[in-house]
Amino acid sequence: MRRQRSTKIVATLGPSSSTYEMIRKLHESGADVFRLNMSHGSHDEIRERHRIIREVERDLDSNIGILADLQGPKLRVGVFANGSEELAEGARFRLDLGEAEGDATRVTLPHPEIFAVLEPGANLLVNDGKIRLKVVDCGKDFADCEVVAGGTISNRKGVNVPDVVLPLAALSEKDRDDLEFVCQLGVDWLALSFVQRAEDVTDARMLAAGRASILSKIEKPAAVKAFDEILKVSDGIMVARGDLGVELPVQNVPPIQKQLVRKCRAAAKPVIVATQMLESMIESPMPTRAEVSDVAAAIYEGTDAVMLSAESAAGQYPVEAVTTMDAVAQQVEADPTYREILVASRKVERSTVADGIVVAAREIAEATDIRAICCFTHGGKTALLTARERPGVPILALTPLRGTARKLTLSWGCNCYVVGTLSRFKQAVVNGARMARSKGFATEKDQIVVMAGVPFNVPGSTNILRIAPCEERLIFAADPE
């Protein structure tokens, strides 16, 4: 299913989008990757959604990526005797390890690891930052706080600790069980929550054991500080602006988003911009102008993908939300300014032969009448390097591995197709030309760029580039072997 845009769309599945009919509509409307949120739904529900996605994929003969988003450890206060209490600005409030129900002066915070690293002056954010507490005094089992921003505090509200690196693993016991479950199902991507350091990612990679690619969610200040190290050990990145906007001043999030997107592109690793992109469409068939501008800004920055969360999972208008994102992406990418921004932000990398090959392919395609860049890829690296260049012509990513094709559905501009195993470059040229014609990227009168590596089916061996005619008799005339 050919898209008329290069930016990809990730849609979260949930109560509003669990049937075959709805999932098929979402894919036909523009969803390239489906997100399974492990914070909601039983294993049986997740298994059924996975099965339906693969059924839609088979029925439409269209590669679909599946991203399983792990919940991560959840920090929450305990319960109150009255269910909730009002905290006034300037009042004192204690968090401790006591088991008694809470009142207007204290509540349980059943996480000794938090108290172990707290220091006076640290901030604690409750209920997505609606309540802000500043630590005045603390010990191994308590924190006496001043209420900086008051409001209603109630049972089991979430707690954010933005000022310290918590001695917590990114994977809880639930996450470990979920990780094994979805890897056995056969998901393509694992989104890792609560990442604070590169070691969090390597731990998850060991458990995944090559069965899924690892995408790190950047949602904590510690992750922003350690981003370069986290990026090195990740296969992709999600800029999770929800929690990031809670733990950091909201005005800091847009420049951080722009910086992270550019670093991901330079590293040839896909990046998703996520959270509250079309939030009003949970209840409205039309987005706000500000939301459209937000989605457009992420696309102008060159992000690989934009994501819908509750809009498609629990909203009243999931298809309309996907359709809106698709329309915004097409309109932005048709704007000449979009190409100007991509070119201006391009960081030329020529440290390897493969880097030089893909740069040459892009330059040739943009300087001549080339209709597409066709790359044969085993593990996906050649396609990722090509996508990093953000060429002005379509990318055909051809691979003998279904898993590679599904993984690349998250990458900018990649039109992914599964082909047979090749043994000679001549076969690559013929297959590339046939695919370009059959999928509508070129006619018999056109030319394409073909890239591949010899020996074939060896990851990272890209070393050949050829300008190939799409008319079959000309291919054989040019290369009679």
Tell me: the pLDDT tens digits for 285-318?
Answer: 999 999 999 999 999 999 999 999 999 999 999 9
Q: Which of 198, 242, 207, 276 is nearest to 68 (CA)?
A: 207
Rounded to 5 degrees, what are φ and ψ at 189? -130, 145
Indicate whether 232 and 309 sit together in one domain. Answer: yes
- Owner of token pair 């802000």: 132
Domain assignment of residue 401, yes or no: yes
Q: Within its chain, how far is the Cα of 355 from the centroid? A: 24
Indicate whether 20 and 128 sit together in one domain. Answer: no
Indicate whether 312 and 223 sit together in one domain. Answer: yes
Indicate whether 228 and 121 sit together in one domain. Answer: no
For residue 374, give both structure tokens.
Answer: 């066709």
Residue where a domain terminates, one of 337, 365, 381: 337
Domain assignment of residue 342, yes or no: no
Domain assignment of residue 348, yes or no: no
Question: For residue 452, what pLDDT is reported?
Answer: 86
Domain assignment of residue 2, yes or no: no
| pLDDT exceeds cutoff 70 at 349 | no
Domain assignment of residue 347, yes or no: no
Give CA–CA dist 435/416, Å, rounded. 11
| Residue 156 bears catalytic tag | no
| pLDDT exceeds cutoff 70 at 443 | yes
What lies within 8 Å, CB to CB, of 431 at 6+ separation is 376, 398, 419, 420, 422
What lies within 8 Å, CB to CB, of 173 at 6+ separation is none
Indicate whether 235 and 380 sit together in one domain. Answer: no
Indicate whether 324 and 452 sit together in one domain. Answer: no
Give CA–CA dist 255/4, Å, rounded. 29
pLDDT digits (tens, 9 = 90+) for 144-196: 999 999 999 999 999 999 988 899 889 999 999 999 999 999 999 999 999 99
Q: What is the CATH number of the domain that holds 332?
A: 3.20.20.60
Q: What is the CATH number of the domain that holds 416?
A: 3.40.1380.20
Indicate whether 456 and 424 sit together in one domain. Answer: yes
| pLDDT exceeds cutoff 70 at 479 | no
Q: What is the CATH number of the domain that holds 88?
A: 2.40.33.10
| Residue 426 bears catalytic tag | no
Question: Please, what is the Cα angle at 232 between 227 and 236, to 5 degrees?
Answer: 80
Give CA–CA dist 262/302, Å, rounded. 8
Indicate whether 323 and 205 sit together in one domain. Answer: yes
Q: Which of 23, 25, 32 is nearest to 5 (CA)?
A: 32
Question: For residue 121, what pLDDT is reported?
Answer: 95
Domain assignment of residue 1, yes or no: no
Give CA–CA dist 459/481, Å, rounded. 25
Q: Within its chain, how far is the Cα of 280 from the centroid? A: 21
147 is in which domain, residue-wise?
Answer: 84-160
Indicate whether 213 and 293 sit together in one domain. Answer: yes
CB atoms within 10 A of CB 253: 18
Give me the catalytic one of 106, 217, 371, 407.
217
Q: Band of the pLDDT at 462, cuts 50, 70, 90?
A: confident
| Residue 217 bears catalytic tag | yes
Give me the catalytic one of 3, 47, 54, 76.
76
Give me the catalytic one of 35, 106, 388, 466.
35
Indicate whether 245 and 320 sit together in one domain. Answer: yes
| Residue 130 bears catalytic tag | no
Domain count, the chain: 3
Give me the catalytic one of 7, 108, 275, 409.
275
Indicate whether 408 and 474 sit together in one domain. Answer: yes
What lies within 8 Å, CB to CB, of 297 at 6+ separation is 254
Indicate whether 194 and 156 sit together in one domain. Answer: no
Q: Which of 228, 225, 221, 261 is nearest to 243 (CA)?
A: 221
Residue where a domain terminates, one of 309, 337, 365: 337
Domain assignment of residue 61, yes or no: yes
